[in-house]
Amino acid sequence: MDNRLIVALDIFDGDRAIEIASSLRELIFAVKINWPIILGAGPDIVRELSRHSRVICDLKLADIPNTNALITEKVAELGAYGIISHVFTGSDSLRAVRESGRKLKLLAVVSMSHPGGSQFINRIHEDLLAAAISGGADGVIAPGNNESLLSEIREMGRELVIVSPGIGAQGGSATKAVMAGSDYIIVGRSIYESPDPVKAVEDLNRQIHEGMAARSTRMNTFS
């Protein structure tokens, strides 16, 4: 099966994260981790989770090039599959991530799924998308709960992989997001707070494949 689901493990408990990743490994594309679990379980959780799944480190890097480079080097050393960086700090900061983590898949944030995203970042998504492309990003983060914005980003970045949060707890539909242009879907709370994470993932996979069947453009994938 062409798995297109990324599970966000926004939790503190490393043992619980490993349990979820292990139980879902055949049903998902990757897990995404953020600062909560790194602070709660320590950086080695990246290496431990990588034994069960691809790991995307959602650190949303937003610093000067040297600091971005140092963080990226450590993430690569720990065996991660990908890393997420902001773009608004400038193309030099994004290039530092690209150059320091050559084997890592680089995802650049060009818009966000929470209500506050409309205040600043979503207003400049065109400039951020252009910077992401010129900075060598493999893909971009764009909200699955904002289908009109997602469709616009899809049209502008036809060759880029689009990874979309905002599904489930934030109101977005996996099927509609894929139809609007998402290539991979990120879901967290609807899975790790579910009494049956496997069933939750199976339901989401069905929704994603319904969107893929109805989509008029090809699906992009990580090379």
Catalytic residues, which ones? 60
- Largest Cα separation within the chain, whole Å, is 44
Query: Of 32, 40, 31, which is closest to residue 13 (Cα–Cα)?
Result: 40
Rounded-to-integer distance, Cα 101 and Cα 151, Å: 29
Sign for the pseudo-dihedral over CA of 187, 31, 133, 216: negative
Query: Quick one: tokens of 134?
Result: 């010129």
